[in-house]
Amino acid sequence: MFKDIWEHRLSQGAAQKAALGAELIKIERQASQLLDRIVETDVVSVINAYEARFRKLEADKLAVAEKLATSGRPARTFDDALRNSLMFLASPWKLWESGQVESRQAVLKLAFSGPLTYQRNED
């Protein structure tokens, strides 16, 4: 089951990477068209507007390129993720006893289906 989920996440990452690649190509094409328009135009106000739009496209291009560089790769290997999951399932108490707030929150989220309920001033 863990392997199936892992494979599904990898395919989602590959699809996201393909979509980002297509978006990057689209932005580059728009930037190229905008440069052609800037060259053909003589009106200063129109040139300024085109240049502002071109700067925005370049910023978008950098953001998409950065996302593309980091997407599609899992943060850990399959073996590391599986080992950590099995260690948690073997003994969630060890993770709880680590004392880290993030670890305790993870234990609560993984061990219980919903938030814990309690009543004040009752044993």
Q: What is the pLDDT of residues 50-88, one digit of tens each?
A: 999 999 999 999 999 998 888 877 778 888 888 878 887
Token output for 71: 């997407």
Q: 62: domain range?
A: 2-70
Q: Is residue 82 part of a domain?
A: no
Query: Residue 25 falls within a domain, yes or no?
Result: yes
Position 100 in a domain: no
Q: Is residue 53 part of a domain?
A: yes
Exposure string of 93-108, with b = 16+ CB inside 10 Å and e = fewer, is eebeeeeeeebeeebe
Q: Is residue 106 part of a domain?
A: no
The answer to whether the CB of 92 falls within 8 A of the CB of 108 is: no
The predicted pLDDT at position 105 comes to: 86
- Which pLDDT tens digit goes with each residue over 26-48? 999 999 999 998 888 888 999 89
Looking at residue 111, its pLDDT comes to: 80
Counted domains in the chain: 1
pLDDT tens-digit series, residues 82-113: 887 888 778 888 878 888 898 888 888 888 88
Give a yes or no: residue 95 inside a domain. Answer: no
